[in-house]
Structure 1
Amino acid sequence: MRHFFSQLVPQSIKNILWHFPQAVLAAYWYGFPGRKLKVVGITGTNGKTTTTTLIGRMLEAAGKKVAMASTIAMRINGTERVNATKFTTASPWAVQRFLRDATEQGCEYAVLEVSSHALDQHRVWGIHFAAAVITNVTREHLDYHHTLEQYREAKEKLFQVADRGIVNLDMELPETFLRLTKQVVTYSTKQRAADVFAEDINIDFHLSRFRVDDVSFSLSLPGLFNIENALAMIATGRVLALPLEALQQALRETGGIPGRMELVPNNRGIDIVIDYAVTPDAFEKLYATVLPLKIPGTKIIHVFGACGERDRGKRPIMGKIASKYADVIILTNEDPYYEDAEKILDEIQAGIERKKEGESFFRIFDRRAAIRQALELAEQGDIVLITGKGAEETMALGTKRIPWKERRVIEEELVKLPQQVA
Structure 2
Amino acid sequence: MALDVEAIRARTPALKSGSARFDAPGGTQTPQPVIDAVAEALTRPLANRGRTTEGERNADDTVLGARAALADLLGADPRGIVFGRSATQLAYDLSRTLAKDWGPGDEVVVTRLDHDSNIRPWIQAAESVGATVRWADFDPATGELSPDHVAKVLSPRTRLVAVTAASNLIGTRPDIPAIATLAHGVGALLHVDAVHYASHAAVDLSALGADTLVCSPYKFLGPHLGVLAARPEFLETLRPDKLLPSSDAVPERFELGTLPYELLAGARAAVDFLADLDPQARGGRRDRLVASFAALEAHEDALRERIERGLADLGGITVHSRAARRTPTLLFTVAGMLPAEVSRHLAGHAVDAPAGSFYALEASRRLGLGDAGGVRVGLAPYSCAEDVDRLLTALGTLDR
Q: With the length of structure 1 as denominator, give the TM-score of the two structures.
A: 0.31
| Structure with greater contact order relative to length (CA < 8 Å, sep ≥ 6) | 2
Greater helix share, 1 or 2? 2
